Structure 1
């Protein structure tokens, strides 16, 4: 009798463990996303990008997923393609190799590249939920951390967990890196950073995080001593993140014989929106986009610089003093600041801006802190509405210039 009781308790413990509860949340969220995809397919007009009745595999392999598949099957071009005007055309060098290669390796056992890609995204998304809870639970408590996981699993961009994009894999590496900083286990960064660098652009933002975190530890050395070996590890990890963040440009240049191969490839996407605006100038993309969008919306474009500066100030204030954000801890706040500064330096805001904000997922903890049930349900409903809106526009329609995920 006692043995049976212990067995029952053991089973109950497993079923109520955080990993099991998160699995239930994640599976439910994926079923909702799948339903949204199916509804979008059924409702999409015949002249939509993927037509009426597109199956899930078409959506899984759509948009940038086609570039990842091309990399897996054809590799990278040794001669850059050119437009009729002589500019570098869009090509595979804009995308990192580890996700498509890993998808191809797994797909060889599952029967197709797309199958490998979506399994990696699904597993990475679940792992993100696990790590996100571990990052938040010590700061905001179990209940709020679980609500943050719910918001994350059902977020407006949660479809990224079910399509052949590298977002989930990259985010997992970021979350693991943040967890290393929280636990002061800096040695693991030397395994995380190289994988991050060749999964998706953004490792330079993580390098900035390491610099800022080392500075913060230095300022607080009386409250928490910063030992020489810790400073050495943080410095070495930061230096490796910088070097690896620039390595892809060197590799692209060496393979194609053009030192500017990667940068010109990235600018080819900017020309799609803005035409030829010359070379790359850090931060210029936001001013160009502000001018473009204000014209689109019938607002005086001269206000563009003021809008950008105002946005930077507002975001800075929120990260610095907003009480719910402060409770998340310095590691998450410094990551958010680092990543946003990275986007400010290199990104041209357009329809992909929502997807590119995915690495800010740890901030979901701030939304979960108000203990009101009505508030939390409201955030969940808003997330699901946003998810449907995004799926419908990017996959169900996909016909306008701003329907690009």
Structure 2
């Protein structure tokens, strides 16, 4: 199969495509919703026993407070720490706060509750995109397994929080799927929206650009005439390429203008202790851990890298390989609070494709037993985590 060819439209016309796609995805959406419901239920029970409010943990702690503040007050809020570091709301990309503000304006929801609703709806949209991706690459059972595995990640509870990970993953996964199916304008628009959601939106832009370049190169026929013929064959490729970086670049440049420096956004991130150093700070962090903890974490990182390499060697389609690789690279080479790395890698769903393909080959009872055990572990860990140190 040509991975970049448009998908066949089921039914007699395009109006039949969406209902048919939703019917195919229904088992994956049901599995995803059940796993996340288990996670929230265990969180609620654990929080009640610990004297805490599960709703507050999901909507009004850590980064969710910053998103809500942007939704209510706009940008400009800063906190200066005792060590001199300055935490600015400009570090947080605007799409989630915009949606929080808009939904709160047309409903009785507070911005914080609106953020949770956006996250829950976006997580279902992400699960649908993951199903569609797994179905295209490895078949329907792999699509269901991919959505279920993503729901059951150890830090999967973040998908149910008023955080931007679910929204970003939905936009990114549908954007990469649009590249896979040759829908270039949709891919560019979704990449631009993903770039308004999180800094790692550049991974979606990279998937669009690199796949477009490879597509043009594969179908070149010499000279300007060949280029024009390729552009005619892929009419949306140039608009898609031009659209893709607008969101990310627009916010980066706006923050730069606000701060009076082209590197203004990087300076804001520096105030939070974030940035990119090629992984040196992460290596020092591993070295300073107790030997057993450092070795365990290093083995976990090695497993994640192995999953990526394994997927690429098995012929993972180019857009997925590029997107997953960039997300993983940015997560592992960033400095900052290192407890956040599992959350930063959560949008890298292509890493789960080899596992999903393997589960799809198992007998259903065995496969769902494994998924159930992993989901139970995720639910317990998520409840423990949020009632303890919480998400960074």
TM-score (norm 1): 0.77
Q: CA deviation at 1:76?
A: 0.9
Q: Which of 268, 280, 283 lines up with 2:277 in the alignment?
A: 283
Secondary structure of the residue aligned to 1:181 is helix
Q: CA RMSD in A?
A: 3.5
Q: CA deviation at 1:298?
A: 4.0
Q: In the alignment, is residue 270 of structure 1 matched against residue 273 of structure 2?
A: yes
Partner of 1:9: none
CA distance in 2, matches of 1:243, 1:103: 22
Partner of 1:192: 190
Q: In the alignment, is residue 389 of structure 1 matched against residue 388 of structure 2?
A: no
Q: CA, structure 1 residues 59+213, in 2 after alignment: closer, same or farther (shift >3 Å)?
A: same
Kept in 1: contact 2:188–2:241 (CA 8 A)? no
Q: CA, structure 1 residues 117+297, in 2 after alignment: closer, same or farther (shift >3 Å)?
A: same
Q: CA deviation at 1:133?
A: 1.4
Query: Which stretch shows the higher mean deviation, 364-373 or 117-126?
Result: 364-373
Partner of 2:39: 33
Q: CA deviation at 1:126?
A: 1.0
CA distance in 1, matches of 2:156, 2:233: 36
Partner of 2:70: 71
CA-to-aligned-CA distance 1:90-134 (integer Å, 9 cap, x gap)? 121110111112112212303311221111111111111222211
Partner of 1:139: 137
Partner of 2:6: none
Secondary structure of the residue aligned to 2:338 is coil
Q: Which of 233, 244, 249 lines up with 1:246 in the alignment?
A: 249
Q: Which of 375, 378, 383 lines up with 2:370 in the alignment?
A: 378
Secondary structure of the residue aligned to 1:351 is helix
Partner of 1:3: none
Q: In the alignment, is residue 101 of structure 1 matched against residue 94 of structure 2?
A: no
Q: CA deviation at 1:254?
A: 2.1
Partner of 1:274: none
CA-to-aligned-CA distance 1:170-217 (integer Å, 9 cap, x gap)? 111111111111111101134223322212211222222223213432
5+ residue gaps, structure 1, are 1-12, 45-51, 272-279
Query: Which stretch shows the higher mean deviation, 130-139 or 166-175?
Result: 130-139
Structure showing greater radius of gyration is 1
Q: CA deviation at 1:219?
A: 5.0
Q: CA deviation at 1:85?
A: 5.3
TM-score (norm 2): 0.79
Q: Which of 302, 305, 310 lines up with 1:318 in the alignment?
A: 310
Kept in 1: contact 2:192–2:244 (CA 8 A)? yes
CA-to-aligned-CA distance 1:8-37 (integer Å, 9 cap, x gap)? xxxxx99x9334433432332232012121
CA distance in 2, matches of 1:229, 1:61: 50
How many positions carry a matched residue from both structures?
A: 360
CA distance in 2, matches of 1:308, 1:91: 32
Partner of 2:331: 343
